[in-house]
Chain A
Amino acid sequence: MVETATPALATPKRETPAREMPIEAPALGAPVLEVRGLSKHFPVRKGILRRTVGHVYAVDGVSFTIGAGETLGLVGESGCGKTTVGRTVMRLIEPTAGTIHLDGHDVTRLGKGEFRPYRRQLQIIFQDPFSSLNPRKRAGDIVGEPLKIHEALSRGERRERVAALFERVGLRRAQMDNFPHQFSGGQRQRIGVARALALNPKLIIGDEPVSALDVSIQAQVINLLMDLQRDMRLSYLFISHNLAVVEHISHRIAVMYLGRIVEYTDKITLFTRPLHPYTEALLAAVPVPDPAIKRIKRVVQGDVPSPLKPPPGCRFHTRCPYAEARCKVEVPALREVEQGHHVACHLR
């Protein structure tokens, strides 16, 4: 079905020196992160009385787990709720429903103060390396800020820790006193990575961490992330719309459409035997950097429906080429159709 899609996905690897990929997902023991039935509905308020006139169903019943040292790629079109998932897990926004277990502890309903110790295990890297660093703070202070909050260190000790972090992410110690605008985009993202690493977290959420960078720089940052994972046994929730990048870094991949996970399996299976029609379409849409290769076009018609009024039944039925009558009524559950391969589709 998508025999031609696979070679296309290798694009960014060109600039990347080959790196042995940790294929076998080392999911042993309790998962670092376990998300069950996570939902986030943003109320839409109108008028002077700010009455709720509807909800944006940004995330609607999403479940996944991430093991130690594992990377879960979360892909989907813009507006499908993948960023909201990341922010909700970070507790930057409160979930409407569902549970979040961090290292076996339920952290969903913890208060601000109670959640603080868990923050150390959970960090985030933002998409935009320009606006995610305070322009008036020195790079060293930005990276040292988490230490200032969570650890009682002397000024000198903190500076040493920050210097070590700078070297860890490939920046020079002398650059600690520079301001963010004196760095390039890639270097700024390294500062963002160093800040996320400062507290030795177990899980880092990457919210499109390389989308704003040049392709050659993307490869460097991704390699840095993979090196860090190998050395520190980090887990990543890697949010991206770029399939090639996700394929390179992830062990398992979850595909999201309009707030729901439609397919969830390991990387190889997803790219070789995708089962959900949406995943098929997504893979077929990846451009092939070789004009000689002709592809079967499997273009999905229409636009993504509004998350304000998601279609009933299967949310993809409005654009699905195989849609049947029951797809319009019945919500397909995410079923395990084969070992470790979950699909939410009536037809598979």
Chain B
Amino acid sequence: MAVIDHDAELARAGANVRGWMGGIFFFVRRYPLGAIGAVLMAIFLATAVFADQISAFDPFTTNARISLAPPGGEHVLGADFMGRDVFARIVYGARISLAVGVGATAMGCIIGVMIGLMSGFFGGWFDLIVQRLMDIMQSLPLLVMALVMAASLGPSLTNTIIAIAIPLVPNVARIIRSNTLSLREMPFVEAARAIGMSETRIAIVHVLPNTLAPLIVLATAQLGSAILVESALAFLGLGVPEPHPSWGRMLSESAAEYVRTAPWLVIFPGVAISAVVFGTNLFGDAIRDILDPRQRL
């Protein structure tokens, strides 16, 4: 026999959440995995912001005496073949990853939203041409696309961000366009027209805010994948150039030569990449659940 405990059901649905402390507590109870993701992302952010305070060593200083020093002792995670502290490089590498992840995602989303919104809302020939362009862009694998971009633009932080952002555009544009297509037929859009609102203003004021929920979900997922693509590009020698400490480059430099003799050079950057991507994905999943329609009070 099933007994429904109403208070428990209400508590589960978040009916008695009060204040931001209560909100956080509720989030942790309801989405434990999402909370883990949030913690990982918070650590990542804090590392990037307070890199100077966290690391005792400079990530660029070479010291031949400690070349390939194993973990433990003064250099917690050891040192690479040039004698640079691995912990320091990972801590400063968080900045690069953050810049690439946030930069590429933001850039891809902003351009994608503009294209998707115009394409979906105004339709016609513009829509037709833009969509075929997006088809072409999407038919190229993301990594190949980024490779071509990185190779043609040359290796630098800005170019890496651009190279990763461009393949993102069609994904975002697609989602925004399909949402816009259904939204522009909504009676509230017609109501806005009836009171004499201009089309551009309708698109921005009434359509855009209603497309943001799926966009946030996509953006959190893309944050992780942007970091991953940067690592892959760096691994292939096309990412952020030396001497900047990119996690992917740290991996690629040491993978072939030192994986047997100095495995910590491979393990620790790998762990850092995995943890951040894992964190963003868990957090993104929780956000998707929360932003589901009618979940908000």
Q: How far is the CA of A199 from the CA of B188 in the complex (A)?
A: 17
Residues of A within 8 A of B196 (CB): 116, 119, 146, 149-150
Whether B190 contacts A126 by the Cβ 8 Å rule is yes
Q: Does B193 contact A (CB under 8 A)?
A: yes
Within 8 A of A (CB), among B182-224: 186-188, 190-197, 206, 209-210
Partner of A126 from the list B187, B195, B197, B210 (CB cut-off 8 Å) is B187
Interface of chain B, main secondary structure = helix
Whether B209 contacts A126 by the Cβ 8 Å rule is no
Interface of chain A, main secondary structure = loop
Residue in A123, A128, A131 with the greatest tally of chain B CB atoms within 10 Å: A131
Query: Number of A interface residues, CB 8 Å?
Result: 25
Whether A134 contacts B206 by the Cβ 8 Å rule is yes
Residues of A within 8 A of B260 (CB): none
- The residue on A at minimum CB distance from B188 is A134
Whether B188 contacts A149 by the Cβ 8 Å rule is no
Whether B195 contacts A132 by the Cβ 8 Å rule is no
CB distance from A139 to the nearest CB of B (A): 13
CB distance from B235 to the nearest CB of A (A): 42
Residues of B within 8 A of A273 (CB): none
Q: How far is the CA of A196 from the CA of B60 in the complex (A)?
A: 67
Residues of B within 8 A of A132 (CB): 187-188, 190-191
Partner of B188 from the list A116, A131, A181, A198 (CB cut-off 8 Å) is A131
Q: How far is the CA of A329 from the CA of B57 in the complex (A)?
A: 97
Whether A126 contacts B294 by the Cβ 8 Å rule is no
Q: How far is the CA of A198 from the CA of B210 in the complex (A)?
A: 24
Mark A2-32 against chain B: 1 for CB-CB distance below 8 A, else 0: 0000000000000000000000000000000
Which residues of chain A have a CB within 8 Å of any CB of chain B? 90, 92, 116, 119, 123-124, 126-128, 131-137, 145-146, 149-150, 181, 192, 195, 198-199
Contacts A/B (CB < 8 Å), 22 sampled: A119-B194, A119-B195, A119-B196, A123-B195, A124-B191, A124-B194, A126-B187, A127-B187, A131-B187, A131-B188, A132-B187, A134-B206, A134-B209, A136-B210, A145-B197, A146-B196, A149-B195, A150-B195, A150-B196, A192-B191, A195-B195, A198-B195
Give the top 6 A-B pairs by smallest Cβ distance, nearest first.
Answer: A132-B187, A146-B195, A119-B196, A134-B188, A136-B209, A126-B187
